Structure 1
Amino acid sequence: MDTQHTHISLFSAGDDFLLCKGIYQRVKGSLSHGDLVTKINQALANAANDGLDNPIVIGAIPFHSEQQCNLIIPLQYQKLNQQQVLELFSKNKKDYQVVSQQEVPNQTEFCHAVEQALAKFARGSLEKVVLSRTLQVELDTHIEPQQIVSQLIEQNPKVYHFLIPTENHGYLLGASPELLLEKQADSVISHPLAGTIKRSQDPIECEQNYRYLQNSEKDLHEHSYVANQIGKALGPYCNTLAVPEVPSIVATANLWHLASRIEGQLESEQIHIIDLLNAVHPTPAICGTPTALAHQTINELEPFDRGLFTGSVGWCDLQGNGQWAVTIRCAELSGNKLCLYAGAGIVPASTPLAEYQETGAKLQTFLNALNP
């Protein structure tokens, strides 16, 4: 048993916040090995036998499904609302400054990677690939993750917030707009996003961008890959499944997104949400299509290991219920250094500069929280 009492972890959906304290145990395993559900259930059963009340697992699953997950069973947890969390996390705030920023890859390198992807479309069967970049940010002082998360919550109140301790004494934190999966009894929901444009302070420009996204063949085509593949992945587990024919548009603080709310009735309440995660991950929204070829292209063109970025973050219980968001609009924090991540879906109609600018708009969600 690991009895670390100091760690705080958090996951939220709307106004429902799951605030966890301490670490009873870390759960080892990877999504692709097929035994993760068994390991989770055994660890939760042991925790219950040790007296933990309705134990849960909370944490993050990496992009590369063969890599180790970052999952913990907290010693205790409670459900709070947003205001309660803000009051708790806003205590002992301290001033800080951003002293440096470094792009990896830089603009020229990222645009070159997009050009290489476009060449692959012309030569073969690759239809979409998601390419990402990082922004290395250094602050002038060590900062508590709760302070940054409180700023993310204040600026982006209606998304999925998360704060997960990692094994290297760091934290994964962010504000994801995208629900990968939610399961309760025999009900399953997925709400993927693909197709993005920035919002504007100018109401006329903002409306123009909304209409552009609503009618953009490039973005609608990109979105259809995602919704259709998730539907195909969930179909074998469901008695009924509804996939919208036309996406809607959802707003975050800085962006418009094309979105499809997919809802199904599972064949059995016993189906575990982790098995469903294994079926849908990685979606074309964070990898591409065909999956294997997109995965190979990412390995070739991205100069860093994504780690937990574009994996999934959330929680589950002994009944196999839970909520998992896509790990985007996020950063990893260690001391006074942050690594921010953002990606863009590349399709044959993409242009390198526009995709670079899209990643910049996505990075702005987190950068705004660093400059409250």
Structure 2
Amino acid sequence: MLLKRLQRKDKIKVAFFVVHASVWKLDELYRLMEADERFEPIIVIIPYVVFGDEQMRADMDLGYTLFATKGYRVVKTFNEKTNSWLNVKEAIQPDIIFYTNPHELTKPAYYIDHFPDVLSCYVQYSFHITHLHEMQYNQLFHNILWRAFYETDMHLGFAQQYAANRGSNVAVVGYAGTDVFLQSAEHKTDPWKIKNPAVKRIIWAPHHTIDDDKSFLSYSSFLVYADFFLQLADQYADKLQLAFKPHPILRPKLSDPHVWGKKKTDAYYAQWEQGTNTHLFEADYVDLFKTSDALIHDSASFLVEYLYLHKPTLYTLRDERVTDRFNGFGKLAFHVHEHANSEQDIIYFIQHTVLQGNDVKEEERKQFFNRYLIPPYGKSASAHIIDEIKRFVY
């Protein structure tokens, strides 16, 4: 019934529900839809309600600014002037909604079950590497989607094994979030302060899971290395510049008075922003990745995403059992990284791999990329998503 209705329409309204702009992965898909006369895309900034009103409004403002700067059609669901929330059904009347997060982190008015008469689509908000299969494949959300666009045949296999619907709504298309890295190496802007190519550019991207619940994720070694990375910036001031790219949830977690508190957290982030050879990046990271020389991290999705850049990457281990919290695909990606268990290991990576250019994992990364990361069908993931939608609505 829904498909027949869309087949009669000249324009298909597509709403992208965005919780965190910093984990937005659908630039290429939005642009392709914008250029296609059949689609009318719009970004809808929905609230992240976990950490209170102040953080929610800051996240929404950051997202709105980012998308407006890109020239996208964007709307916030919260209206400060009227202190009211947008009724998406009435104001936008979407035909298709692309959800960018499956979890119950927003207001119920923006959950998937509130839109039973709208076709629902989903691209994973990160390249899925965790062991939390039930959470990532078998929520009600995953089972009632019209179309789930997954990364690889291995991820389809996870859905077939764990989802109640056995992955019947899944299409394997590659990962739309990395389409921008498969394009030319050109970038729009150079976000680094020091333009001298002799001064190497390293990104430090810590995850938000600073807790000690090893049954969940607990990837983050941020609390171990927080001061150390600022010391590295001073120690290598004439040779390196460091970019701090934290997970968006790290800041509110640190701001909890039982962790660091807001004052200490804000002061720490300000140090990165104000340093002569340090940077703070809390939003879009595409140009940051493209113009970098290496990545040091304990992230989840970046474990795979940065491999599209064909550059050295170091994973800092929170503990010796971290890989137990990866799925099979994550373990494969982990093994093509260099690994650090200490400050000395990090210094070795900087000196030996980055400064001296001894990229010992280069060939292994290349083999992994060729086997798992090249999108199927000879086209980008975003292009295949559009083809898949058109297959049903034409």
Larger radius of gyration: 2
Query: TM-score, normalized by length of structure 2?
Result: 0.27
Greater helix content = 2
Greater relative contact order (CA < 8 Å, ≥ 6 in sequence): 1
Query: TM-score, normalized by length of structure 1?
Result: 0.28
